[in-house]
Amino acid sequence: MPEATAYQYVTLGSKLEFLRGISSKSLTQATSLVAFPNLLENLPAQRYTVRRVVGVVRSLLGQLEEMKLDKSLRVAEGFRPMLEQMQKFLEKTAIPDTALFQDQFAENLAVISKQVAIALEAELGETSA
């Protein structure tokens, strides 16, 4: 594979930032988000749909594989069982384009995306040294 381009690194970062910013359908109704610290940081006006997150996770995993960022990919493996769950959920959902996340699932996605970002930063630091 040819050397990775700056564009590939930028798209990796934007995918991780997208996933880090996930929230859930009950945030607007909650009185306390103490149990979900990663969601507390992220209160977007528009919630992410399951379908959109599935696309971003697939793309992120594919790009990590393509760029041969093995250490980051190992951390991102935590997404795979969640991806499978999301895909099964979408298959069973009557209106998949409007499906939103439950709090704990969204929190877990945000945590894994932060872990991948940290691993990616470390891995890229190793390659530039």
Contact 58, 80 (CB under 8 A): no
The single-letter DSSP state of residue 47 is: P
Per-residue confidence (pLDDT) for residue 84, from 0 to 100 = 97
Distance CA 116, CA 70 (A): 11
Distance CA 40, CA 32 (A): 9
- pLDDT tens digit string along 10-60? 999 889 888 877 766 555 555 566 677 676 555 554 568 899 899 999 999
Domain residues of the chain, as ranges?
6-128
pLDDT over 80 (residue 80)? yes
pLDDT over threshold 50, residue 83? yes
What is the pTM (predicted TM-score) of this model? Answer: 0.76
Confidence band for 106, pLDDT divided at 50, 70 and 90:
confident
Tokens representing 29 are 């109704």
